[in-house]
Structure 1
Amino acid sequence: MPAPLPHEHLPSVPELVVESDDLRGGETLSDLHVFNDWGMTGQNRSPQLRWSGAPEGTRGYAVTCYDPDAPTGSGFWHWVLFDLPASVTELPQGAGNGPDFKGLPAGAIHARNDYGTREYGGAAPPPGPAHRYVFTVHALGVDKLGLDGDASPAVVGFTITANTLARGHIIALYGV
């Protein structure tokens, strides 16, 4: 039985519409979004994302990518981005990658992913069945989470959940 998805045990909230020119729900990630290390030869670029349908009172956003199927006992956080202003409803492809993070608004913060870097880190599953990569956009009732880039993904996730007004996601697949 597959591991539960991260949103399945969270409080129910309205659904955001999340779309991408790069990702399709249930389809395989392209090499563009696969890690370029750990035996992988992808381009490690964050996907383009856009969202709509945020409820009244939305003051900011967070974007995460999580692999619930990673053989760690706790999944694997590939992207943890927060403090996006409410005026931002789209991220261009590559906005989550350094060194200059073109396309990110001023003040946006990357927390460490499970690779230990503060940026998007692409798919890199071990051989076996395809893993699910859950790209989630969270509409928040606060403009700032009050955290910095040193916060762990679990602490950021806890704080996001405490402030979420709505969320939506795209689940893509990747396996080797």
Structure 2
Amino acid sequence: MKLNAPELGDENELKEKHGYMGENVNPALQIEDVPEKANALALVFEDPDAQEMAGKTWLHWLVWNIPADTGRIESDESPGIEGTTDFKKTGYNGPNPPDGEHEVVFKLYALNEELDLQEEATLDEFEEAIGGKVVVKTELKAVYPYDHIVRD
């Protein structure tokens, strides 16, 4: 399974519009080669570089029960059921790290069945729910450049 974001270019660099203080919209994502055994997809967007400042990997977006035949997630589109991010709300919430450039990661899971989770579920609840259901997982790493960070 493959996940890419053509609009990010060869450097996989998130644009200012993808930032929390920009337009706060997700980049369009292209999904290819989903296994036939997959019945649903799930997506996690995190910032592991937040560990030093926040004391944990920061969750920016959590979505599950995306149809397995989804070939593209458009910008500013909610493709499934959304969970609660570390911003304490649902939906895409882009990066705005206070300490410089961060590498972020989109994790795409192919699942053998849809998840029985309520909207606004947490990452912990999601991780428990996917136990034994992951057919395959892939990642797309990107960078949110320092010059995109908006200060008050």
Q: Find the counterpart in structure 1 of residue 149 from structure 2.
A: none
Q: Find the counterpart in structure 1 of residue 122 from structure 2.
A: 152
Which segments of structure 1 move beyond 6 Å, counting only runs of 4 or more? Answer: none
1:5-154 superposed matches below 5 A: 16-24=1-9, 26-36=11-21, 42-70=22-50, 71-96=53-78, 104=79, 108-128=80-100, 130-142=101-113, 144-154=114-124
1:52-81 Cα deviation digits (max 9, x unpaired): 122231000011100011122221000000
Distance across 2 between alignment mates of 1:24 and 1:152? 31
CA offset at residue 169 of structure 1?
1.8
Distance across 1 between alignment mates of 2:10 and 2:61? 18
Whether 1:164 aligns to 2:134 is: yes
Gaps of 5+ in 1: 1-15, 37-41, 97-103
Q: Find the counterpart in structure 2 of residue 13 from structure 1.
A: none
CA offset at residue 122 of structure 1?
0.4
Q: Name the structure with the higher strand share.
A: 2
Aligned CA-pair RMSD: 1.7
**Matched AA of 2:92:** Y
Distance across 1 between alignment mates of 2:11 and 2:85? 23
Q: Name the structure with the higher helix share.
A: 2
Alpha-carbon spacing, 1:157–1:25, altered in 2? closer, same or farther (3 Å): farther
CA offset at residue 161 of structure 1?
4.9
Gaps of 5+ in 2: 147-152
TM-score (norm 1): 0.75
**Matched AA of 2:71:** T
Distance across 1 between alignment mates of 2:55 and 2:38? 33
